[in-house]
Amino acid sequence: MQIEIQRNGEVPLSKQIYQSIVDRIRSGLLQEDAQLPSVRDLSKQLGVSLVTVVKAYQLLEHEGLVKSIQGKGTFIRVKNSGEVPDVEEIHSYDWQLSVQDYLPRSQFARFHMVPEKIHLSSSMIDPGLLPNRLIEQSIIRMLSDNPRIVSQYGEIQGDEQLRIAMSEYLNELEVPSTPDNILVTSGSQQGIDLVTRTFVGPGDVVVLEAPTYPGAIDVFRGRGATILTVPVDKDGLRVDILQNICDKYKPKVIYTVPNFHNPTGIVMTLKRRRQILKIAQSIQCLIIEDDPCSEIYLDRKPPASIKSLDYNGHVIYLKGLSKTLAPGCRIGILAATGSIFNRLMAAKANSDLGSPLLTQKAILSFINSKRTMDHLKKLRTALRIRRDLVLELLSQQMPNGVSWIIPEGGLNIWISLPTWIDSNIILLEAKKQNLSFLPGSTCYPIEQENNHLRISYSYMNEQLLKQGITILCNILQKEIASRKTSDSTPNF
Ligand code: PMP
């Protein structure tokens, strides 16, 4: 089992071990009845004192997440299951836990596809709002014109025609690019992974926003990076804090989602974009500008991309097409200039030898046609209606003490609860009522804040959105009312 600890961090070692195990339980990497390493083994593996591990295990036990059985060991208990693990039953796969992995966290997998009927947890677009038929027709036409398309490799850099089309598309979005400095990736998730596996090794310092996109945290954690975080406010990433961190630790990479930030929906101001770039230039650091949603502006267009302000190759720009076109095609692009580009292409070759030609060609006829612009316009209209509906329901039904950020675009609303409420606990109740959302704790790379949650208004239709928001508001109303009642109960 891989547990990473940062010795010079501010979080106590026992808390880090505790958090790492909690992450694994929540990610489903550690399941009911799995046996944790003994205190002695783990303290030896991590080079920490026995007391540190004991403290971490005690904290887990206190939370009801593990059960210690004298003479047998410590076993995972899935919270609130109410059942004591049957340790007599020896699981035949238990030996696998001794095979060390390098996957300290995988929250994303947990929330991507969930069985709940009212699915507000992942920021995806309702398939009914995407141009499926057009893409289907394009695939059929292509296969009948050229059946050999599936019997050949494409270029590692990506299909040239698609790169030409994507370069024009990006230039429309005012992101300067040429077909030569575009790499086609399997979604922007792979873009994050390629940059990380190319430039980030164990101990390298990486700066992430807090909160941020959980899928990125998983990738950086997987490389053993030392992650430092910078909070976001209404103008985006706090540059004053970034400056202090950069002066002290000289990070190699800054990862940011400036447009309709995931999860908060905030748009970074132009001033901050300029400041971040200036800081990165001063310490020779790379910026990953992850931009899946700039086309989904619902009120006004976001400011110029950081990439458009960059003349020295500091910015690696990622544009995924999952939020606008076809998540199932798994196509995104990475745009970078200078010598880093070839290194990223080498990483792409190591990773998969190139994205599937079939899906690259499938979206080709769509990109840059008038149909794309019409589709995006319709998509914005449909999402504006859903966002406004949800905002209205929230203001009608949410109890006092709960607040949220009004997003000017993108797919999500970030909700903050009173600090004493843990959204992971609220989620357990929501799931019983067939509702899912993303607990905010998954979006914090280091010190987790538990009193936030993210809902997406883009996947469910209006009827299910109404049902979902009503369920959520009712659960929170009860929770807050129960606290008021217990506060007013006299203590004897
Ligand atoms: N970055 C951000 C900010 C995202 O929200 C997502 C998907 N939720 C991704 C990257 C990954 O998207 P994809 O790989 O589908 O392009």
- Give the mean pLDDT of 438-444: 94
What residues pair up with 205 in beta bridges, in sequence order?
A: 226
Asked whether residue 149 carries a pLDDT value surpassing 50, the answer given is yes
pTM for the whole structure: 0.86
Q: Do residues 283 and 396 both lie within one domain? A: no
Ligand 1 centroid to Cα of residue 161, in Å, is 24
Q: Do residues 363 and 442 both lie within one domain? A: no
What residues make up the domain containing 161? 132-370
Question: Which residue out of 120, 123, 184, 188 has the highest number of ligand 1 atoms within 8 Å of its CB and is therefore the one to mutate?
Answer: 188
Asked whether residue 80 carries a pLDDT value surpassing 70, the answer given is no
- Rounded to whole angstroms, how far apart are CA atoms 246 and 244? 5
Asked whether residue 488 carries a pLDDT value surpassing 70, the answer given is no
Nearest ligand 1 atom to alpha carbon 320? 16
Q: Kindly state whether residue 212 falls inside one of the protein's structural domains.
A: yes
- Rounded to whole angstroms, how far apart are CA atoms 339 and 114? 41
- Give the mean pLDDT of 77-98: 59
User: Of all residues in the chain, what percent carry a pLDDT higher than 70?
Assistant: 93
Q: Looking at residue 82, what is its pLDDT?
A: 44
Q: Pick the residue with more confidence: 47 or 255?
A: 255
- Rounded to whole angstroms, how far apart are CA atoms 218 and 60? 22
Ligand 1 centroid to Cα of residue 98, in Å, is 32
Q: Pick the residue with more confidence: 368 or 261?
A: 261
Nearest ligand 1 atom to alpha carbon 262? 3
Q: Looking at residue 114, what is its pLDDT?
A: 66
Q: Pick the residue with more confidence: 8 or 143?
A: 143
Ligand 1 centroid to Cα of residue 327, in Å, is 9
Q: Kindly state whether residue 280 falls inside one of the protein's structural domains.
A: yes
State the helix-helix crossing angle for 423-432 and 462-488, rounded to 10 degrees: 120
Residue matched to tokens 């300290």: 104
What is the rounded end-to-end Cα distance, in angstroms, of the chain? 47
Q: Kindly state whether residue 478 falls inside one of the protein's structural domains.
A: yes
Q: Looking at residue 108, what is its pLDDT?
A: 60
Ligand 1 centroid to Cα of residue 256, in Å, is 12
Q: Do residues 391 and 323 both lie within one domain? A: no
Question: Which residue out of 123, 290, 295 has the highest number of ligand 1 atoms within 8 Å of its CB and is therefore the one to mutate?
Answer: 290
Q: Looking at residue 314, what is its pLDDT?
A: 98
Q: Looking at residue 107, what is its pLDDT?
A: 64
Asked whether residue 179 carries a pLDDT value surpassing 90, the answer given is yes
Question: Which residue out of 190, 213, 333, 334 has the highest number of ligand 1 atoms within 8 Å of its CB and is therefore the one to mutate?
Answer: 213
Q: Pick the residue with more confidence: 31 or 338?
A: 338
Question: Which residue out of 260, 322, 414, 459 has the highest number of ligand 1 atoms within 8 Å of its CB and is therefore the one to mutate?
Answer: 322
Q: Whose CA is nearest to atom 13 of ligand 1?
A: 187
Enumerate residues lining ligand 1, CB below 6 A: 123, 187-189, 213, 215, 257, 262, 290, 292, 320, 322, 327, 332
Q: How confident is the model at residue 368 (pLDDT cuts 50, 70, 90)?
A: confident
Domains contained in the chain, number: 3
Q: Kindly state whether residue 453 falls inside one of the protein's structural domains.
A: yes
Ligand 1 centroid to Cα of residue 189, in Å, is 6
Q: Kindly state whether residue 94 falls inside one of the protein's structural domains.
A: no
Q: Looking at residue 81, what is its pLDDT?
A: 46
Q: Do residues 172 and 309 both lie within one domain? A: yes
> The domain spanning residue 58 has which CATH number?
1.10.10.10
